[in-house]
Amino acid sequence: MTRLHLVRHGPTHAKTMVGWSDLPADLSDTAALKRLHDHLPPDALVISSDLSRAIDTASAIQGQRRRLPHHPDLREIHFGQWELREFAEIEAEDPELAFAYWDNPGDVRPPQGESWNEVRDRVDSAINALVSAHTGRNLVIVAHFGVILTQVQRALGLDGQQTFAHRIDNLSVTDIAVNGGAWTVGSINHLP
């Protein structure tokens, strides 16, 4: 059995849509980082997306754990022209598209961005490769809101709308066990 410990990076404090922009994480809450470090299995392998907010969070909780190379397919949703814009501004510009994207996640995409299904395919492929290469191990995967939700959706068999009802806080852990073709969720959005 392979266990995925999906950790959301530290907060950016941005009030905009942050996807592929490389904003830094605020890692000043050293007590929360220590609790997170202590909560995670000591024998786990650590990997992160290639964005600095995930890389730096992974470094802060790594300790003596072995680090795998950063993975670009573990990046957040690519919001295209919505990147670094406030939701209210996006909604005012194209309310139908904004509503469709969040209310019925699937094939709808922001201008020059990714649809939810494209994000899911990208992340599923990356996770499949990690599970295949490290079967039977604990994997700490430091990534993003959207990345974590793709795996919650996968494990629980939810539709996009049900998936987006889940909260994924910064520095939280979502635990998923993979045993052959069976995916089991242990906890979602656990804050150690």
Mean pLDDT (the chain) is 96
**How far apart are the C-alpha atoms of 157 and 163, rounded to whole Å?**
9
Residue 105 lies in a domain: no
Average pLDDT over residues 157-183: 95
Under 8 Å between Cβ of 67 and 46: yes
Least confident of 67-81, 96-110, 144-158: 96-110
Structural domain range at position 20: 2-77+116-190
CATH code of the domain in which 144 resides? 3.40.50.1240
pLDDT classification of 103: cutoffs 50, 70, 90:
confident
Residue 103 lies in a domain: no
Residue 56 lies in a domain: yes
Residue 48 lies in a domain: yes
- CA Rg value for the chain: 16
**How far apart are the C-alpha atoms of 51 and 53, rounded to whole Å?**
6
Residue 104 lies in a domain: no
Q: Give 49's DSSP letter.
A: B
Question: pLDDT, tens digit, for every residue of 47-100?
Answer: 999 999 999 999 999 999 999 999 999 999 999 999 999 999 999 999 999 999
Residue 178 lies in a domain: yes
> Which secondary structure element, helix H or strand E, spans residue 90, and what is its range?
helix 87-93
Catalytic residue list: 9, 76
Residue 93 lies in a domain: no
Residue 136 lies in a domain: yes
Question: Considering its fold, how many domains does the chain have in total?
Answer: 1
